Structure 1
Amino acid sequence: MTHTQKRIFINKVIMSLSTLSAIIGMTFLFWILGVLVINGIDALNWTTFSEVGAPPGYEESGLKHALIGQLYIVGIATLAGVPFGILAGTYLSEYGQKSKLAEIIRDISDIMMSAPSIVIGAFVYAIVVTPMGHFSGWAGSIALTIIMLPIILRTTDDMLRLVPSTLREAAFALGAPKYKVIIQVVYRGAKVGILTGVLLGVARVAGETAPLLFTSFNDNFLNTDMSEPMASLTVTMYNYATSPYEDWQKLGWAAAFILSMFILGLNIIARLFLMKKRGK
């Protein structure tokens, strides 16, 4: 076998193994999605959205309390995490740049992105829940904000650094102050990438369960008081799916379907924005 034939053979083997691995991965993915869609759609009905949780055996039982609680907790986390993340990323890109402090913040952000979410939940439990003496929706939002923050920070930093420096120099040459250059030139050039990071950050925290078990805990009734324990779709899904009652298990499948479609939708939108930025 010549050297060229050997390279062609190795290339075919690697291509075959790669294709097989991709097929196996996609098979499991569509298998999971198929089971989720079949069981989730079967469990969905109007009462799922219009009624709150009820004891096992009651027909009028739904996920209204969990959906509203999830909206409150994730919504407040988004309102807090997005501006802080964008501002921190702006500092790193436009002011800190390659300074020692900026590099330390980047390293800490990378570590935070890979930290297990249950560790964040335990941290917030220690600094918020324990001093308050009880679980609360605020504690859940704080935990999700901490998880979301490094994702948006690093995405904003990376996207702003991709904006050509010539655009900044042209704006400075026209006499624009730095804050106007950042807002009217740099942000406009990176808005699609920043929005993509925001959507990915929200999608990440929307599916978290472990930190909410330590912070907001759960509530089987409708509650909009953020200072009290609050229901969330993820924790409710966990409780219902692991229960021995068939009607609760069906609601667990419905919750899993709703949550998965929401996260899938956010990821698809983020990918579309990213493709638009790349001009595809």
Structure 2
Amino acid sequence: MSTTTSPRPAHGSALSGSLVERRLPRWTPAATVVGAAALAVALGLGFSISSKLQWGLMAAIFFVGGQYLLARRVEGARQAKNGLVGSLVWVAFLLALLPLVGLLYYTVKQGIGVINIDFLTHSMNGIASNQTGGGLYHALIATLEQVGIATLIAAPVGILTAVYLVEYGAGRPLAKAVSFFVDVMTGVPSIVAGLFILTFWIVILNQSYTGFAGSLALIILMLPVVVRSTEEMLKLVPNELREASLALGVPKWLTILRIVLPTAIGGITTGVMLAIARIIGETAPMLMLVFGTDLINTNPFKDPQSSLPLYVYQQYGNGTDASEARAWGGALVLIVLVMLLNLVARGIARWKAPKASR
């Protein structure tokens, strides 16, 4: 009895070739970027377009269009649409990153020349607006004190408020009212917060212009950010962790303290740092409440103080070359301060985050 075996399809036949999709080379996006940039430069020079921003926008349009046409011709319509969305995402990302990079570059370029030890350790006492020298030590100390006081008050109050909303107040009328007012406070302009403290604290209660008055306005601006960010982080904690702790007989308050908060500490810390970044650059409340001074005042509860945003505003408003240089230096110090605070927050979040047991 003889048996016959069907021949296998030859390598490279139509059957095997139909299972292989055509793909663009990996270097295609880079080549498309180079071609789009060259075309945008050529059109910009040919039509005497002086704005480099317009050159960049043209290059982005040419890149997206060119990448789509190449993908449609080689890979097909389906892959071309997928590549089109990816190209648009990358272009949107670069467009969003461009102002940040430009801001950092220009601030460093304008302010790095005035940064030195004397600038960081001296005040503006006795320095005229058209004179070189002087510094921002008085404004830096005042800002750290004002933001520190606001954080010491707003962070615990905001975290406890979020704990109530998530753990105790679900469905209760009080929780709904608190959540509503938190949403309202989120949209309150900083100048409104300053006017409220000015009216209540200084006019009605007859208190003086101090750094603490500025801290009160910063607390109003900081609270809703802390509450909302902490609330969202607490909602991300799995309910299984709460249920397991309660099943072991652990009281609810201890479950929140030992289980819920440590699990969400990374997000809570990040939310607090976002709130600090929200308030550290506020100028309007400082103009109305701390009054401003060129002297070093380390007591935020007595006599006027300055602040870094107020220092930048006043120095730039003086209009001289020396004062504008100091203003750019103050802006650079403010940006570096925010960056350092964010690095510290990330370190604390990693340190306090729960470790997985091996």
Q: TM-score normalized by structure 2?
A: 0.70
Work out the percentage of aligned pairs sharing the same amino acid.
36
State the Cα distance separating 1:214 from its structure 2 match: 2.0
In the TM superposition, what whole-angstrom CA distance separates every residue of 1:36-73 from its partner, at most 9, and x where no partner exists?
01111111011111111122344441111101111111
Structure 1 residue 150 and structure 2 residue 224: aligned?
yes
Separation in 2 of the partners of 1:270 and 1:113? 22
Does the 8 A contact of 1:62 with 1:251 survive in 2? yes
In the TM superposition, what whole-angstrom CA distance separates every residue of 1:172-224 from its partner, at most 9, and x where no partner exists?
22222221111111111111111111111111111111121122231121113
Match of residue 116, structure 1, among 166, 189, 204: 189
| Secondary structure in structure 1 of the residue aligned to 2:318 | coil
Separation in 1 of the partners of 2:207 and 2:239? 51
Match of residue 90, structure 1, among 163, 169, 174: 163
| Secondary structure in structure 2 of the residue aligned to 1:242 | helix
Match of residue 55, structure 1, among 117, 128, 133: 128
Tell me: CA distance 1:254–1:11, structure 2 relative to 1, closer, same or farther (3 Å).
same
Structure 1 residue 23 and structure 2 residue 94: aligned?
yes
Q: Which residue of 1 aligns with 2:214?
A: 140
Does the 8 A contact of 2:129 with 2:315 survive in 1? no
Q: Counterparts in 2 of 1:240-259, with a 5 A limit?
A: 240-259=315-334
Range with greater deviation from structure 2 (23-32 or 248-257): 23-32
Structure 1 residue 173 and structure 2 residue 244: aligned?
no
Structure 1 residue 233 and structure 2 residue 308: aligned?
yes
Range with greater deviation from structure 2 (26-35 or 179-188): 26-35
Q: TM-score normalized by structure 1?
A: 0.88
Separation in 1 of the partners of 2:240 and 2:91? 46
Tell me: CA distance 1:244–1:21, structure 2 relative to 1, closer, same or farther (3 Å).
same
Tell me: CA distance 1:137–1:254, structure 2 relative to 1, closer, same or farther (3 Å).
same
Q: Which residue of 2 aligns with 1:68?
A: 141
Does the 8 A contact of 1:218 with 1:230 survive in 2? yes
Separation in 1 of the partners of 2:92 and 2:234? 36
State the Cα distance separating 1:87 from its structure 2 match: 0.9
Does the 8 A contact of 1:237 with 1:251 survive in 2? yes
Separation in 1 of the partners of 2:81 and 2:346? 33
Q: In structure 1, what residue type is equivalent to 2:339?
A: L
State the Cα distance separating 1:155 from its structure 2 match: 1.5
Tell me: CA distance 1:61–1:178, structure 2 relative to 1, closer, same or farther (3 Å).
same
In the TM superposition, what whole-angstrom CA distance separates every residue of 1:230-255 from its partner, at most 9, and x where no partner exists?
10011111110121222111111111
Q: In the comparison of the two structures, how many residue pairs are matched?
A: 277
Q: In structure 1, what residue type is equivalent to 2:165?
A: L
Range with greater deviation from structure 2 (267-276 or 232-241): 267-276
Whose helix proportion is higher, 1 or 2?
1
Separation in 2 of the partners of 1:47 and 1:118? 33
State the Cα distance separating 1:265 from its structure 2 match: 3.5
Does the 8 A contact of 1:196 with 1:273 survive in 2? no
Tell me: CA distance 1:20–1:275, structure 2 relative to 1, closer, same or farther (3 Å).
farther
| Bigger relative contact order (CA 8 A; separation at least 6) | 1
Q: Which residue of 1 aligns with 2:106?
A: 35
Separation in 1 of the partners of 2:317 and 2:134? 17
State the Cα distance separating 1:108 from its structure 2 match: 2.0
Does the 8 A contact of 1:200 with 1:270 survive in 2? no
**Long gaps (5+) in structure 1:** none
Range with greater deviation from structure 2 (104-113 or 60-69): 104-113
Tell me: CA distance 1:129–1:19, structure 2 relative to 1, closer, same or farther (3 Å).
same
Q: In structure 2, what residue type is equivalent to 1:81?
A: A
Tell me: CA distance 1:275–1:14, structure 2 relative to 1, closer, same or farther (3 Å).
farther
Separation in 1 of the partners of 2:250 and 2:92? 53
Does the 8 A contact of 2:266 with 2:350 survive in 1? no
Q: Which residue of 1 aligns with 2:202?
A: 129
Q: Which residue of 2 aligns with 1:195?
A: 269
| Secondary structure in structure 2 of the residue aligned to 1:159 | helix
State the Cα distance separating 1:97 from its structure 2 match: 2.1
| Secondary structure in structure 2 of the residue aligned to 1:90 | helix
Q: In structure 1, what residue type is equivalent to 2:161?
A: A
